[in-house]
Homo-oligomer: A and B are copies of this chain.
Amino acid sequence: MGLTKTENFTEAQNELAKMLKALAHPARIAIIEHLIKANACIGNDLVDVLGLAQPTTSQHLRELKEAGLIKGTIEGTAMNYCIDQVKWKQYADTLSTFFTTVNFPENCC
């Protein structure tokens, strides 16, 4: 089917899955890492950095934008993308919480 049964799960579970999915591609990781290094970045640099075609790059940027992780401001004819600090911290918090609220039992396999 290829279609996730979101109605079976809680809002929080769907939300977290969506967050992880937004980053679950090496190109999108590479974009984020490049933005971190560069402080800011016009989109066309990325085409070279990623080694993907321009439309593909644009598509990955859109997914990150839709996830709220990055935001872009128009700079003449170029685009100025950078990480959305607020959303980024929100991601960090949510994931940190998810990974640290585990109580490992002694008597387990």
Chain A residues packing against B (C-beta within 8 Å): 4-6, 8-10, 13-14, 16-18, 20-21, 23-30, 33, 36, 39-40, 50-52, 71-73, 80-83, 85, 88, 91-92, 95-96, 99-105, 107-109
Contacts and interface: CB of A to CB of B under 8 A. Distances in A.
A36 to B, nearest CB: 5
Given A102-B83, A109-B71, A6 B20 contact: no
B95 A36 contact: no
Contacts of A83: 102, 104
Contacts of A10: 26, 30
B96 A108 contact: no
A14 B36 contact: no
